[in-house]
Amino acid sequence: MRVLVTEDDENLRVAVEASLRGAGFAVDVAADLPDADEAVSVNAYDCAVFDRMLPAGDALAYVAGRRRSGWGVPVLFLTARDTVDDRIAGLAWGDDYLVKPFAMAEFLARVRSLCRRGDPGPAPVLRFSDLELDIGRHEARRGGVLLTLTGKEFAVLRRLLATPGEPVRRADLLAAAWDELVPPATNVLDVLIAQLRGKLGEPRVIHTVRGTGYLLGEPRRTD
């Protein structure tokens, strides 16, 4: 799941980014609305977090403008403004409103909830053979046995399960679990696939497609 965080307080921005990454999210950060607008224009997000009062203005007005043009990404506002009127205004255009200072555990829970709201997924449960991925519960099982997967392992497996038997490009798998800070030539995906294969056990269901990426299942025959 990919999250945009727009916060001008550097210390808070760094802390929020670290917490989200530690929880398995891919994160993009912006210090002000122009940077956020550029990120929103070129990337797809599961959730966006905005500090309300930024150097370029009130993020509420920015989100309202985006909403009028059809932008539907769930938004969490962070702010020190805690009057009833402020909350009502924030919820009119956003989806959640968290007053500073806040507990990081609560922040993560709210972001996770908004990401689920914004991404219904291709199906409540994805299945291939004896492998099952429950999107709503964030659980994976093989042969009925619950697997312990990291957030990134779950995201990569979900992407592979969306198109069983079809090759998935490395770039698409990287985008599913990381962000643009990960260079395409990195081996983090190969390391994760090796770990995922170990957790899934035998017989192997994730196969390498040389020059392309990976696929789950057996390649489709062309003859």
- In sequence order, the 6+-apart residues with CB closer than 8 A to the CB of 136 are 116, 121, 124
Coil, strand or helix at 221: coil
Average pLDDT value for residue range 93-100? 85
Closest CA to 25 of 169, 193, 154, 188: 154
CATH number of 125-216: 1.10.10.10
Backbone angles phi, psi at 64, to 5 degrees: -60, -45
Q: What is the pLDDT of residue 183?
A: 58
* pLDDT digits 0-9 by tens, 119-138: 544 446 888 999 998 876 77
Q: pTM for the complete prediction?
A: 0.56
Residue 156 or residue 185, greater confidence: 156
Cβ neighbours, 10 Å, residue 160:
29
25: exposed, middle or buried (C-beta count within 10 Å: 0-12, 13-18, 19+)? buried
Residue 128 has which token pair?
């291939």
Rounded to 5°, angle at Cα 38 from 36 and 40:
70
Q: What is the pLDDT of residue 204?
A: 92
Residue 219 or residue 196, greater confidence: 196
Residue 156 has which token pair?
């990569």
Task: Tell me if 102 sits within 8 A of 79, measured CB to CB.
Answer: no
Q: Is the CATH number 3.40.1350.10 carried by domain 2-118?
A: no
Instruction: Enumerate the domain spans of the chain.
Output: 2-118, 125-216
Cβ neighbours, 10 Å, residue 6:
25
* pLDDT digits 0-9 by tens, 191-209: 999 999 999 999 999 999 9
